[in-house]
Each structure stands twice: as structure tokens, then as C-alpha cells.
Structure 1
Amino acid sequence: MKTILIIEDEQTISRVLSVYLKHEGYEVIQAFDGTEGLKLFHQHVPNLILLDVMLPETDGWNVLQSIRKNSSCPVIMLTALGDIDYKLKGLNQGADDYISKPFIGEEVVARVNAVLRRSARGLATENTRQFGSLKINLDSHAVTISDENVLLTPKDLSLLLFLAERPNRTFTREDLIASVWGMDYDGSDRAVDLAVKRIRQALAAWPVSQGEIKTLRGLGYQFSVYEK
């Protein structure tokens, strides 16, 4: 049984989400402030986190940053803030999805199911890919540069795997949305740009002489590798 950690200070909302998720077959853990949420996260190692932005003690942004320091656990942000800047901030800091309040329980369950499907897609493989100092272990899902671990969110890892398995081929945003995010994704293709930006930052120690993720203006993205 997969475990969902809800970090939400409005207890009524948290209880409603818990009921819907338990009905779907998930185990649910609840925290009502950011500090408690981080404690429960480390204790229980959940499969996914529903994280409110406006939290007492430690706000959602700081909770997300703390989680991303040592974990790629999927995170869906919950907030009453509908401004696009807040949405982009969450995605840029490594959130896997974003839901604005008010929402209905069925929507949240659908988003949870979709994020968990995406995080598992394409990861159960048996090969290792190596491009100079960059190594991608497709069994353990580990990415290293010169044997140093590279931390990626599940979605970003799925995108990197897709590109790395098809080096020197160009894909449009629409190609990547369909292949990595899936046909059930109904968000903006801006998510591709943000994911590529995060991957580039994570791979900063990978020498450009060995490879890079290129932007081909008007065409899309390419995982370019260079033969010596």
C-alpha cells in the first residue's frame, strides 16, 4: 500500500483529502504544520506528499526545499494562491504538480494517481547508460557525475531517461509531453522548459565537451553527446 503524507494546516481540508485518498486505497499520514510535516516525512518515507504553501512554523516553500535536498519524493503543492508566479515558483523548485484551492476531492485523487504513474513510467529498465562522466543506472534510477550522486525529481528523471535513451535526436515540447508526462496531462507545455532548466542545473558538473541538453530554436530539445 502506498503512503501519502498530507501537510495542510486546515484540518477540515486535510480530513476531506484523507477520506478520499483512503477510499482510493492509500495509507494517509497527516501533519498540520511544516515542522511536523518534515518530521513525519523522515519517519515514514511516503510515496507522495500533498503540501500546502501557507503553513505555520515552516512554510511550504521551505518544506519543499528541505525535501529536495535529499529526496526525489513526488510533491503536489496545494494553495489558495492562484497567481501564475506562485505556480511557476513551485514547479521551478521541484514540485511535481500544483493544485489551486478550492478543489474537489476527486480532482486531487486523479492528480495523485497521475503523478505516481508518471514517476514510475520508464524507470523499470535493466540497462546503464554512460556518457563520459555522466552515468545513468536504469535499474537503481541513480544518476551520477564522476561517481557523485545527482538528485532529480521523478518527473525530471523520467525526462532525462527518455532523452538519454535517444541521444542526438530532437523532440518538440509536444513530443516530450506525450511521451513523458502522458496523454492524461492537461497542463502547460511550459512544464517541459522548467524541467529542462532543472535538469541542466543538476547536471552542471557534466562537462559540455562530453554532452549537453541543447535547445534547438523552433525545433525543440536534444540530448547531445559528443564522441571523442
Structure 2
Amino acid sequence: MSSILIVDDEPQILEILSSYLRKDGYHVLTASEGGEALEIAETYPLALIILDLMLPDRTGEDVCREIRKTSRVPILMLTAKSGEADRIRGLEIGADDYLVKPFSPRELVARVRAILRRMGDYQSLSDLIEMGELTVSLGEKRILLRGKPVETTPNEFRLLATLVRYPGRTWTRDELVEEVLGIDFFGSDRTIDTHIKNLRQKIEDDPRQPVFIKTVYGLGYRFDNPDKSRG
């Protein structure tokens, strides 16, 4: 049974969401403050965290940053801010998806199912892909650059895994949204741009002149194998 942590300071929201998720077969833990959430995240093996941005002791962004220092657990943010800049900022600090208040509990359950389904996409794969100094293990969900681990969010890993499996192929943003985020993703296709930016910061020596992830202007993105380009 997958364990899900809900972090929100409104008791009614905790009660309603817990009820719906338990009916859907999940084990649910709850926290009303950021500090309490961090303690639970360090103690329990979680499949997903549902994190409200407005908490009494600290912001949801701060909690997300702390979790991302040690964990790649998927994070679904709950926010009353519907602006694109706010959503992009959440993705940049490590959130995997966002849901704008008010929302229906059924919509949240659907999002949870979609995120966990995407998390399992590469579970049965054991392929080890090596591209220059970059190694991606699809089965273990690990990325190594010059032998050192690269920490990514689940969405960033799925995006890179999609690109490296088909080097040289140009993907449109819409195609990457469907492949990485799922056909039920409700946000902007520019979300992909944010994930690409984050990945370049982590795997490229110079993100402004990328070797691996190239922009195909007017179309989308492709992954280049530096070994082939040198050969």
C-alpha cells in the first residue's frame, strides 16, 4: 500500500482528502505544519507528498526545498496562486505537479493516480544508457555524470530518460508533455521548458551552450550523443 503525506493547516481539507485517498487504497499520513511534515518525510517511506504552499510555520516552498535536498519523492503542490510565474517557480524548486484551489477531491485523486502511474513507467526497465560522460540507469532511476550521482526530481528524470532513449529525435513540447507528464496534465506546455532548464543546470558544463540537450528552434528539443558527434 502506497503511503501519501498530506500537508495542510486546514483540518477540513485534511479530513476530506484523507478520506478520498484511503477509499482509493492509499495509506495516508497528515501534517499541519512544515516542521512536522519534514519529520515525517525523514521517517516514513513515502510514495508522494501533497503540499500546501501556505503553512503556519514556514512556506511550502521552503518545505519543498528541504525535502529535495535528500529525496526525489514526487511532490504535488496545492496553491491558491494560479499565475504561470508562480507555477514555474514551484517546478523550479522541485515540485512535480500543482493543483490550484479550489479543486474537487476527485480531481486530486486523479492527479495522484497519474503521478504514481508515471513513477512506475520505468520500474521494470533495466537498461543502462551511456552517452559520453553521462550514464542513465532506467531501472534504478539513477543518473551519473563522470561517475558522480546527479539529483533530479521524478519529472526531470522521466524527461531525461525519454530523451536519451531516442538520441537525435526532435520532440515537440506537446509530445514531451504527453510522454513525461501524461495526457491528463492540465498545465502549460512551457512547463517542459522549466524542466529542460533545470536539467541543463545539472548535466551541462555550460547550460548556455548545451552539449546534450539541444533546442531545435521552432520545434522543440533533442538529445545529442557527444560520442557520435566527435566520431
Q: What TM-score results when the alignment is normalised by the length of structure 2?
A: 0.93
Give me the whole-angstrom Cα distance separating, in 1, the residues matched to 2:155 and 2:185.
Answer: 12
Give me the whole-angstrom Cα distance separating, in 2, the residues matched to 1:82 and 1:166.
Answer: 34
- CA shift at 1:157, angstroms? 0.7
- CA shift at 1:146, angstroms? 1.5
Give me the whole-angstrom Cα distance separating, in 1, the residues matched to 2:205 and 2:37.
Answer: 32
Give % identity.
39
- Which structure 2 residues correspond to residues 5-154 of structure 1 after superposition, within 5 A? 5-154=5-154
Give me the whole-angstrom Cα distance separating, in 1, the residues matched to 2:178 and 2:55.
Answer: 34
Q: Which runs of 5+ in 2 are unaligned?
A: none
Number of aligned pairs? 228
Give me the whole-angstrom Cα distance separating, in 1, the residues matched to 2:137 and 2:147.
Answer: 11
Give me the whole-angstrom Cα distance separating, in 2, the residues matched to 1:179 and 1:87.
Answer: 20
Q: Which amino acid aligns with 2:111?
A: R
- Which structure 2 residues correspond to residues 215-226 of structure 1 after superposition, within 5 A? 215-226=215-226
Give me the whole-angstrom Cα distance separating, in 2, the residues matched to 1:36 and 1:172.
Answer: 41
CA offset digits 1:120-149 (Å, max 9, x no partner): 223421210111221111221110112211
Contact 2:204 2:212 in 1 (8 A): no
Which aligned segments of 4 or more residues in structure 1 are displaced greater than 4 angstroms? 205-210
Q: Which amino acid aligns with 2:140?
A: S
Q: Which amino acid aligns with 1:160?
A: L
The aligned residue for residue 214 of structure 2 is: 214
Q: Which amino acid aligns with 1:98?
A: Y
Give me the whole-angstrom Cα distance separating, in 1, the residues matched to 2:58 and 2:207.
Answer: 37
Q: Which amino acid aligns with 2:204?
A: A
The aligned residue for residue 174 of structure 2 is: 174
CA offset digits 1:6-28 (Å, max 9, x no partner): 11111111111100100100000
Q: Match of 1:211, SS?
A: coil
Contact 2:78 2:100 in 1 (8 A): yes
Q: Match of 1:94, SS?
A: coil
Q: Which amino acid aligns with 2:6?
A: I
- CA shift at 1:209, angstroms? 9.9
Contact 1:123 1:158 in 2 (8 A): no
Contact 1:118 1:182 in 2 (8 A): yes
Give me the whole-angstrom Cα distance separating, in 2, the residues matched to 1:97 and 1:207.
Answer: 24
Q: Match of 2:212, SS?
A: strand
- CA shift at 1:215, angstroms? 0.5
Give me the whole-angstrom Cα distance separating, in 2, the residues matched to 1:63 and 1:210.
Answer: 31
Q: CA 1:172–1:207 in 2, change beyond 3 Å: closer, same or farther?
A: closer
Give me the whole-angstrom Cα distance separating, in 1, the residues matched to 2:208 and 2:126.
Answer: 27
- CA shift at 1:182, angstroms? 2.4
Give me the whole-angstrom Cα distance separating, in 2, the residues matched to 1:128 and 1:53.
Answer: 37
- CA shift at 1:179, angstroms? 2.2
Matched, 1:156 2:189: no
Contact 1:209 1:226 in 2 (8 A): no
RMSD, matched Cα: 1.9
Contact 1:145 1:206 in 2 (8 A): no
CA offset digits 1:49-95 (Å, max 9, x no partner): 00010112221011000111121110010122233322221122121
